[in-house]
Amino acid sequence: MSEKAKVYFLTSLFPKELESEITLHSKGAIANANNTLQWNLYSGLQKFYPNIFLLNFPNVGAYPTKYKKIFVSETNISLLDKTIGKSYSFLNLVFFKHYFKYLKIRSIVKNIFESLDESEKCIFYVYDLYPSFLKALYELKNIYSSKKIYICLIVPDLLGKTGSRESFLYNFVLNRDRTVVSNSLTIVDSFVLLSEQMREQLPINGKKYTVVEGIYNDDLDPCERSDVSNLKILFYSGAMDERNGVLNLIKAFSNILDQDYRLVLCGDGPLKSDIIKLSERDSRILYKGQLPREQVLNIQINSTLLINPRLPGQDFTKYSFPSKTMEYFASGVPTLMYKLEGVPEEYFEHSFYLIDPSIDALKNKILEICENEPSVLKDKALKARDFILTKKNARAQCEKIYNICNDLLERKNENFN
């Protein structure tokens, strides 16, 4: 990079310093997938920007319905005895939390912009379409238009495409947020999309973009496999939500009569109570609830087959990439999934997949895979693992993000004004 630049990453991750507190005070599912992706993005970006600094507002539910504390705690974020960012406190009151986040972000970013001298460039990587993040940046970038400020927006989800339950209040908030985000996107210089199809829903308008469907952090390699059991262990981790096909998976499994099969489920969500009841009827179904990531990885690597039962053809599947896909592949255990629209074709070369959405097709495919020669399964699984470790690691994926930023930074200064 020809000129010095200050680099910030505006995030909503869970600092290690607050993980136990967030787990203790959260009610219901925790945003583990988003947390993991943000940490993996940081891991990759810091290879290109050693001094990148996190400005963080943890993505926790609002008090009192989804979080037990009205204030989210503040802390410095450290890694290997180095301070890499700050996680800020904010009033976490339902309906008002985003406004208080906006005020805090605006104050922080304003101080950063005012501190820039004429020779400095400032790069902001921003995670997700949070209205409070984008509104603050929109207002301040326009005020400080003479400064050399570059904004790269990372879009893991589209507003209204996350499968949330609709209601009058939900639609009111969604329409308000869409207006704020739509107005704010004019100040974004480049985009990082989770799927190619996201282009259809965003005002890219000729700006640079790249697709990063996910990142596997090879610094967090799975543990060793235990002694191999004679049981056929099927595994799913993720939200216990109907849109993810969990009930279809349980129905297909229940139609397998072989008593040597087990279905292990990890996660939380609206179907939790139903799944507990189903597991009480069939002792072969083992529901573990929401576990720490290390425990999930341990179960994965000791399974026979990892399954993502999410069906294609839903409103959101074009615009999403199941983050569990990379963890599944990296475990060295075979993966079965459907041909989802948002998953790049190269992934299906390294997995077993289904097109037929019927329960019988899923049951038969599970049996076909699990009764296959162990050497065939091992060969496919190890090729999938190599694919993830070499092609989808933090450095390889974040190099694409760095390159689109660096190309723009090398242009004339007027491109940033």
Q: Which pLDDT tens digit goes with each residue over 114-126? A: 999 888 899 999 9
Q: Which pTM does this prediction carry?
A: 0.87
Q: What is the mean pLDDT of the chain?
A: 91
Same domain, residue pair 38 and 119? yes
Same domain, residue pair 165 and 240? no
pLDDT, tens digit, 9 for 90 and up, residues 47-67: 999 999 999 999 999 999 999
**377/163: higher pLDDT:** 377
CATH code at 91?
Answer: 3.40.50.2000
Mean per-residue pLDDT for 402-408?
89
pLDDT of residue 10: 98
Same domain, residue pair 253 and 128? no
Same domain, residue pair 104 and 176? yes
Same domain, residue pair 318 and 243? yes
The band of 40, judged by pLDDT with boundaries at 50, 70 and 90, is very high
pLDDT, tens digit, 9 for 90 and up, residues 181-237: 989 999 999 999 999 999 999 999 999 999 999 999 876 555 566 656 789 999 999
Same domain, residue pair 124 and 144? yes
138 in Cβ contact with 126 (< 8 Å) = no
Same domain, residue pair 328 and 339? yes
Same domain, residue pair 317 and 196? no
- The domain in which residue 33 lies consists of 5-215+394-416
CA distances from 287 to 33, 53, 265, 274, 305 (A): 19, 39, 5, 11, 16
Q: Is 50 exceeded by the pLDDT of residue 416?
A: no
Query: Looking at 267-383, which runs of residues are DSSP E strands?
Result: 285-289, 305-308, 335-338, 352-354
- What's the total number of domains in the chain? 2
